[in-house]
Amino acid sequence: GGESNPASSSVKSSNSGTSADSSAGNSSSSSESALEPCDAEEEGETKRVLATGVRYICKNGFWVEVESSSSVSSSSYFDMTEQFNPDVKYGDFTDPRDGKKYRTVELKNGVFMESYTVFAENLNYGKMISGGSVQEDSTKYCYDDDPWYCENGWGGLYTWSRAMNFPAVCDSFSVASEKCPNKFNLESDNEEFNGKYYFVQHQGICPEGWHIMNENEWVEISEKSRRDVAYYMGSKVAGFGSNNYGLSILPAGYWQLGKFDQIKLSAGFYLPQQHNSNEIAGRAVYVEKNFFERSGGASKIHALSIRCVKNY
């Protein structure tokens, strides 16, 4: 749709005597009684109902409709100044496909690995399409269908097949099947890694020379952070934690069941694996305050975040 850019400068222009203004006298009371309540911790957050395209903001305990021309004023976005840890030495990587720059961080002294290099931000590759549309090659969702989130550190949200760089049909059928012939290459020169999903280095939509963070790498992160991943690895931006190691995980939410949800509360990341018992689900890792789930699942059509790791 032709939604106006929320970051546009015309934020205040919505009060210039629109028809909504004139009829506000009688309609506001009736619409107020129908407002949906929201929780205190959601105050200031926004959500968009996909069926109608209407955007709401949580104000004083209720979801209030936001004027479309003002969408969300930039002041209600997150302040990203503390996204990274100033005491951590970061590297830089430029994705040759689109010129986007990412900070990287080296994590050392792991259980299986001496060190490995990870994106310190979520992947943001592809052209934004609206939530619920089929993700073809080089596409992504942005939270709330708002490019601000993609472009300001929160990154894109990808269905399982898109993240794996498989055809969209693989969201509905098992890998290595007639409909979805794609499969993972589990071969490795490292005898310990060979043949195991746990260690697979699958490029997916990561740049050449990088792969989607696998289960072993997430376990290394969990062990390093004494299993409190949100605290030790989480960015300070949305109150996740101390970001000791600089990984700067953000609770970027996801797209599921027809809507964008859980921003500021949860981060979900697809693993390069299909769910063992359900062929239309992908394996995923979830990070929340005081909670880390390394073997979760998500319907493959749900859209989660992606972190890339340098091949080793």
The pair of three-digit structure tokens given for residue 234, joined into one six-digit string? 């989480």
pLDDT in tens, 166-193: 999 999 999 999 999 999 999 999 888 9
Question: Which of the 8 DSSP states describes residue 4?
Answer: P
Mean pLDDT of the chain: 84
As beta bridge partners, residue 62 has: 37, 59
| Cα–Cα distance, 10 to 72 (Å, whole number) | 11
Q: Scanning the structure block, which residue is given the tokens 């919505």?
A: 14
Of 149, 111, 145, 164, the closest CA to residue 284 belongs to 164
Are residues 189 and 201 in contact, defined by beta-carbon separation less than 8 angstroms? no
Provide DSSP, 146-170.
-HHHIIIII--BB-HHHHHT--GGG
Q: Helix/strand/coil (H, E, C) string of 185-242?
A: CCCCCCCCCCCCHHHCCCCCCCCCCEEECCHHHHHHHHHHCCCCHHHHHECCCCCCCC
| Residue 98 pLDDT grade (very low, low, confident, very high; cuts 50, 70, 90) | very high
User: Span 100-121, mean pLDDT?
Assistant: 91
Number of Cβ within a 10 Å radius of residue 285 = 26
* Strand positions, DSSP E, 42-100: 46-49, 54-59, 62-65, 91-94
Please tell me which residue, 63 or 169, carries the higher pLDDT value. 169
pLDDT at 86 over 50: yes
Q: What dihedral angle (degrees, nearest 10) is formed by the CA atoms of 255, 259, 260, 261?
A: -100
pLDDT in tens, 33-50: 478 888 888 887 777 665
Beta strands at 139-140 and 127-128: parallel, antiparallel or unpaired: parallel
| Residue 16 pLDDT grade (very low, low, confident, very high; cuts 50, 70, 90) | very low
| Cα–Cα distance, 212 to 201 (Å, whole number) | 7
**How big is the chain, counted in residues?**
312
Question: Which of the 8 DSSP states describes residue 144?
Answer: G
pTM of the predicted model as reported, rounded to 2 decimal places: 0.76
Please tell me which residue, 177 or 54, carries the higher pLDDT value. 177
Instruction: Report CA-CA distances (Å) from 78 to 46, 108, 239.
Output: 11, 30, 11
Please tell me which residue, 234 or 49, carries the higher pLDDT value. 234
| Cα–Cα distance, 146 to 21 (Å, whole number) | 26
